[in-house]
Amino acid sequence: MPYDYENFLVEVKDNIALVTFNRPKALNALSKSVMEELDTIADTLNADDDVWGVIFTGAGEKAFIAGADIKELAALNAINAADYSRWLQEIFMKVEMMRKPTIAAVNGFCLGGGCEFAMACHMRVASETARFGQPEVHLGVIPGAMGTIRLPRLVGKGLAMELILTGKMIRANEAYRLGLVNKVVAEDELLDECFKIMKAIFNNGGLAVRYAIESINHGLTTTPAEGGNIEANLFGLCYATEDSKEGLNAFIEKRDPRFLWK
Ligand code: CAA
Ligand 1 atom 21 nearest Cα: 26
Beta bridge mates, 132 = 110, 170
DSSP secondary structure code for residue 122 in this structure: S
H/E stretch holding 227 reads helix 224-238
**Residues 6, 20 contacting (CB under 8 angstroms):** no
Residue 143: give its domain's CATH number.
Answer: 3.90.226.10
pLDDT at 191 > cutoff 70: yes
Nearest to 122 by CA among 213, 210, 45: 213
Ligand 1 atom 10 nearest Cα: 26
Ligand 1 atom 2 nearest Cα: 69
User: C-alpha distances in angstroms, 210 versus 97, 157, 200, 235?
Assistant: 10, 29, 14, 11
User: Would you state the pLDDT for residue 3?
Assistant: 82
For residue 259, tell me if it sits in a domain. Answer: no
- Residues 239 and 163 reside in one and the same domain: no
Reported as a single tens digit per residue, the pLDDT across 200-230 is: 999 999 999 999 999 999 999 899 999 999 9
For the chain, give the percent of residues with pLDDT over 70: 98
Nearest ligand 1 atom, CA 113: 50
Say how many Å lie between the CA of residue 27 and the centre of ligand 1: 6
- Residues 54 and 145 reside in one and the same domain: yes
Say how many Å lie between the CA of residue 63 and the centre of ligand 1: 10
H/E stretch holding 158 reads helix 157-166
For residue 261, tell me if it sits in a domain. Answer: no
Say how many Å lie between the CA of residue 70 and the centre of ligand 1: 7
pLDDT at 180 > cutoff 80: yes
Using the 3D structure, point to which of 187, 202, 217 is the last residue of a domain: 202
Question: Mean pLDDT across the chain, nearest whole number?
Answer: 96
Any residues with CB less than 8 A from the CB of 179 and at least 6 apart, and which? 154, 155, 156
pLDDT at 100 > cutoff 90: yes
For residue 257, tell me if it sits in a domain. Answer: no
Nearest ligand 1 atom, CA 68: 50
Q: Is 166 exposed, middle or buried (0-12, 13-18, 19+ CB in 10 A)?
A: middle
Reported as a single tens digit per residue, the pLDDT across 1-21 is: 568 999 999 999 999 999 999
User: Would you state the pLDDT for residue 260?
Assistant: 85
Active site residues: 116, 136
Domain hosting 102: range is 8-202
- Residues 191 and 212 reside in one and the same domain: no
Instruction: Read off the pLDDT of each residue in 230-249 and give the average, rounded to a whole number.
Output: 96
For residue 213, tell me if it sits in a domain. Answer: yes
- Residues 133 and 19 reside in one and the same domain: yes
Any residues with CB less than 8 A from the CB of 106 and at least 6 apart, and which? 57, 58, 64, 118, 124, 125, 126, 127, 130, 132, 172, 181, 190
> Best substitution site from 7, 22, 25, 27 to test ligand 1's pocket, by max atoms within 8 Å of Cβ?
27
- Please state the domain count of the chain: 2
- Residues 106 and 170 reside in one and the same domain: yes
Three state DSSP letters for 31-54: CHHHHHHHHHHHHHHHHCCCCCEE
For residue 1, tell me if it sits in a domain. Answer: no
- Residues 217 and 198 reside in one and the same domain: no
